[in-house]
């Protein structure tokens, strides 16, 4: 079976989601500075990062295959929550999310015959968390490379009281929007 696209990500979660819809891909992760620009709004931020990742991959590989990239961020109010660098970061983020509703923005960028983008915005409500739970969760190792310091598809799912929107978008690749973009570029995913 021939490769259908390049995935500009090393995320095991994005790979699992593409596997779920039977897309054949090759992985070529790109490493970019993911710092928000001054006064950059969350929506513009995730769209810019996804587009920069796909553009960097195209430039590096000079491939004719379509390139798919994504960026997922946890947003509380207007604050972009990145990935925790330390236990203190994770405790601060999860304490802020405790008992509140936040948004998860997941942008995708597909460069092929043309460049197309889509964004999924999902509301996630956390139950109240104790500091002991947060520290115990940190000790599992799961929050380390996760936006907002949690993985909804893992142990972190126990914190989620409700979700309105795309579960796969929160995981890191909104399948509905991804399938729409792939279809427009003639990439099949039911084989």
Catalytic residue positions, numbered: 71
Residue reference for tokens 């798919």? 68
C-alpha 189/C-alpha 138 separation (Å) is: 36
For residue 67 the two structure tokens come to 């390139």
Element containing residue 6 per DSSP (H, E): strand 5-7
Q: How far, in Å, CA of 139 to CA of 37, rounded? A: 32
DSSP secondary structure, 66-120, as one string = -EEEEEEEEEETTEEE---SSHHHHHHHHHHHTTSEEEEEEEEEEESSSEEEEEE
Interatomic CA distance for residues 105 and 120, integer angstroms:
6
Tokens 């309105």 correspond to 164
**b/e 56-67 (16+ beta carbons within 10 angstroms → b):** bbbeeeebebbb
């Amino acid at each position: 079976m021939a490769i259908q696209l390049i995935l500009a990500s090393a995320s095991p979660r994005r790979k699992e989601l593409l596997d779920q819809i039977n897309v054949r891909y090759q992985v070529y992760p790109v490493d970019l500075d993911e710092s928000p620009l001054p006064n950059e709004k969350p929506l513009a931020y995730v769209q810019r990062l996804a587009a920069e990742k796909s553009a960097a991959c195209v430039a590096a590989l000079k491939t004719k295959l379509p390139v798919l990239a994504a960026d997922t961020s946890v947003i509380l109010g207007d604050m972009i929550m990145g990935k925790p660098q330390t236990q203190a970061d994770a405790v601060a983020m999860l304490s802020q999310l405790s008992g509140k509703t936040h948004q998860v923005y997941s942008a995708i960028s597909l460069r092929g015959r043309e460049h197309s983008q889509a964004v999924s915005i999902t509301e996630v409500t956390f139950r109240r968390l104790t500091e002991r739970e947060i520290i115990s969760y940190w000790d599992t190792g799961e929050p380390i490379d996760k936006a907002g310091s949690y993985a909804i598809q893992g142990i972190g799912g126990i914190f989620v009281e409700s979700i309105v929107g795309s579960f796969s978008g929160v995981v890191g690749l909104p399948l509905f929007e991804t399938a729409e973009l792939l279809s427009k570029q003639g990439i099949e995913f039911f084989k």
